[in-house]
Chains A and B, each alone.
Chain A
């Protein structure tokens, strides 16, 4: 028996419990969503979107041209002038409630589509992405006829046509974060999904048809970065909302400088998860794991820097390594998978490059002993100990399942290290002592601070960053402001 005792946890093998890909009902090809219809782009150009877990093609998707973006903006402008700006809040709420309910009705299909196109574990798309997307539509539906009471004065006015550019890490959820508040406040939208993950937004387009949303209120243009650039540059767009990298965010802000366009940016991060010695250790270990390995670490607010009080550092590291070994990595469609595939070859290359720096700069590397599939883009969950503030893996956003562990001695040092970054999106604080948690939280420069939890999202709570993590808030009452002329 003593032999068994050193075996890793979770050695009861679970037979595969795969979700069926046929639930996705994917079409062979998708056009642009213009004027409420799927339309071929003028150039008839298209590209393939892959399943990152297998590298096999899923569908062909239209590549929009400059002219197509122009059509989309014109359509949204027309819908804004003739239809959407004349609706009452209650009428807009009716559509948003319909969309929310339809997302719930088609949740299984959406979860499968999301997992196939993105590579994230079906458990997460089923239990987090899709329910939260529906919750955002429900939440903002409730605001649509109560804008007078949102704290922005009587009859706050919409901005007009919003260009919304979203990332590949939470494709449907980010679409919901963008569309729901914009539509509730009376704007029309041109949505640009990420190049590698357009499919769930196109299923959402079908849902918009089902909900009988008036044509043109939402147009969806797919394609590469040139489509986003065309949208940013289009003179008839009143508002740009962008979620993505700091690099692109900086480019957008330069492009629209000295124009009438409003802008909100939700960019990168290097979140510090601060662990004090009196933290509830079992839940804290889970919180650290969720903080960095949720969605393969493809999370802008990921707790990618663990700041642990030196007195418990060895114990925390030992427990973390044990827990990381236990993570089930593999087929994202398996309901028991914890960590899925990296979204693209390009992202995998970036993660591999930065982790190489981790080793050459002298950090100690622990990699999960999990077996990775042969095909697809995969990176085993990894922890770096003995990381110094000066290491690249402590400064740059890796956007992958890689945790950098640093230590601190006093609360002051924890705050100083947490704030020693150009980013400022999210932090976590773990302690059983409420007064210390508040003391630390007041001194952290970050838009979101979690206490004794991490990566918790709710439509009622504003989300967004400071400094190079961007500006503007999404979610909650604050999220309305981004789409109102106030």
Chain B
């Protein structure tokens, strides 16, 4: 096993400094994202090994990252691009309800909305998934029988993650047994911020095992990690631990998804794919309410990791009110006129 290619590469490079070798030519197929043919995530064997790997990551310049995100936000999507992007965004929505007041009835109506967001137009795609608390998975599973819409459950003592490992794993197994296709776990931010990075990784590995066939989304809660350097490192820990998706936020902290945080996570996903050949998805969650916001994220994806990631398999929006705005803008693009909000169901 060769777990830490960055570190090894650097040593080789510093040895070669003595001779002034010409720069290696860049070949045509390296002009896009270069993904090794054989995919394999490394097994990180110790906390020291994890630190060495994370230490090889480049820092993030906050001013530069925010400027890049702001610049991409000025892209202007028109006509057929906008129509295609709106449909794509609809198909990427994880329609979410995470309230103490959730009931089977509430979940059932949300599921109906996810299946057919706009009953008056058969061309509107379904949402990607509904996202609920574990005790409502069975209800969602039941209502979504025979549909392509996935059932996602938040687990591991969401949103704080402040429970024992046993409770977190039980939470996950419970949701999986009830029929969840996808598990949205939270990382232990307390462990991360106090420097117990190995513990953060171990938890993700354990949860991934508990997920079995279910896909794992790892929520970083970027607002609590506070710095872009932390977001980049936590992204790598999640991916090393086996995440199928990395996700910005719970939606329960003050600030949820932001463009610069998504940018940093997309860069991590790109570099991870180039290093280990595995494509990890990104989910932005919380605070995305308008089509304009959603299209900005799609541009960010397109210009950071490429169009390969423009699929619900690799990019998602965790949102609720966003869906109706997407439907509204979709109708506007097709008919040239805005309709009353009541044209669309309020779920």
**Using a CB–CB distance below 8 Å, which chain A residues touch chain B?**
1-2, 4-17, 123, 127, 278-284, 286-287, 310-314, 317-318, 321-322, 325-326, 335-336, 364, 366, 369, 385-386, 405, 407, 409, 432, 452-453
Contact = CB atoms under 8 A, between A and B. Distances in A.
Contact of A283 (B17, B29, B32, B65): B65
Given A336-B75, A452-B64, 9 more contacts: A5-B279, A6-B34, A7-B32, A8-B306, A281-B58, A282-B64, A317-B26, A335-B76, A432-B59
Interface stretch (B78-86, B130-138, B147-155, B237-245): B78-86
Contacts of B32: 5-9, 322
Nearest to A430: B61
A279 B68 CA distance: 16
9 contacts: A1-B308, A10-B303, A11-B306, A12-B298, A278-B58, A280-B58, A282-B65, A283-B63, A283-B64
Nearest to B307: A11
B46 interface: no
Contacts of B29: 6
Contact of B81 (A14, A280, A286, A310): A14
B23 A313 contact: yes
Contact of A282 (B14, B58, B77, B302): B58
Contacts of A364: 22-23, 25
Given A5-B308, A17-B78, A311 B31 contact: no
B64 A312 contact: no
A321 B37 CA distance: 21
B267 interface: yes
B13 interface: yes
B197 interface: no
A281 B267 CA distance: 10
Contact of A12 (B24, B25, B81): B81
Interface residues of B, number: 50
Contacts of B79: 15
Interface of B: 10, 13-14, 16-17, 20, 22-26, 29-35, 37, 58-61, 63-65, 67-68, 74-82, 85, 267, 273, 279, 298, 302-308, 310
B81 A13 contact: yes
Contact of B68 (A1, A286, A311, A386): A286
Contacts of A281: 58
Given A283-B68, A335-B74, A311 B17 contact: yes
A280 B61 contact: yes
B31 A452 contact: no
Nearest to A369: B31
A7 B79 CA distance: 24
A317 B23 contact: yes
A14 B72 CA distance: 13
A6 B33 contact: yes
A407 B24 CA distance: 13
B253 to A, nearest CB: 25
A321 B31 contact: yes
B30 A318 contact: yes
A321 B30 contact: yes
Contacts of B82: 15
Contacts of A279: 58
Nearest to B66: A283
A278 B58 CA distance: 7
Contact of B307 (A7, A385, A409): A7
Nearest to B64: A283
Contact of B78 (A5, A16, A313): A16
Contacts of B76: 14, 17, 335-336
A273 to B, nearest CB: 13
Given A12-B310, A15-B77, A321-B26, A2 B35 contact: yes
Contacts of A405: 23
A319 to B, nearest CB: 9
B173 to A, nearest CB: 31
A432 B77 CA distance: 36
B306 A14 contact: no
Given A280-B60, A322-B31, A9 B306 contact: yes
A287 B64 contact: yes
A8 B31 contact: yes
Nearest to A433: B59
Nearest to B88: A12
Contact of B64 (A1, A286, A310, A325): A286
Contacts of A322: 30-33
Contacts of A1: 308
A477 to B, nearest CB: 24
Contact of B304 (A9, A321, A385): A9
A62 B287 CA distance: 55
A459 to B, nearest CB: 18
Given A9-B306, A317-B23, A321-B30, A282 B60 contact: yes
Contact of B77 (A14, A287, A318): A14
Q: What are the nearest 6 A-B pairs in CB distance?
A: A283-B64, A17-B76, A280-B61, A281-B58, A283-B61, A335-B76
A452 B307 contact: no
A310 B20 contact: yes
Nearest to B270: A9
Contacts of B307: 4, 7, 10-12
B260 to A, nearest CB: 11
B74 to A, nearest CB: 6
A336 B303 CA distance: 12
A15 B17 contact: no
Contacts of B14: 311
B33 A9 contact: yes
A261 B266 CA distance: 57
Contacts of B77: 14-15, 17
Contacts of A123: 74
A364 to B, nearest CB: 6
A453 B68 CA distance: 11
Contacts of A287: 64
B23 A311 contact: no
Contacts of B20: 310, 407
Contacts of B67: 286
Contacts of A280: 58-61, 64
B230 to A, nearest CB: 14
B61 A314 contact: no
Nearest to A364: B25
Contacts of A16: 78
Given A17-B77, A282-B58, A366-B26, A453 B63 contact: yes
Of the candidates A10, A282, A453, the one having the most CB atoms from chain B within 10 angstroms of its own CB is: A282
B31 A325 contact: yes
Contacts of A452: 61, 63-64
A432 B229 CA distance: 12
Contacts of A407: 20, 23
B61 A312 contact: no
Nearest to A283: B64
A476 B20 CA distance: 43
Contacts of B59: 278, 280, 432
Contacts of A310: 13, 16-17, 20
Contact of B75 (A2, A8, A14): A14
A364 B24 CA distance: 10
B249 to A, nearest CB: 21
A180 to B, nearest CB: 25
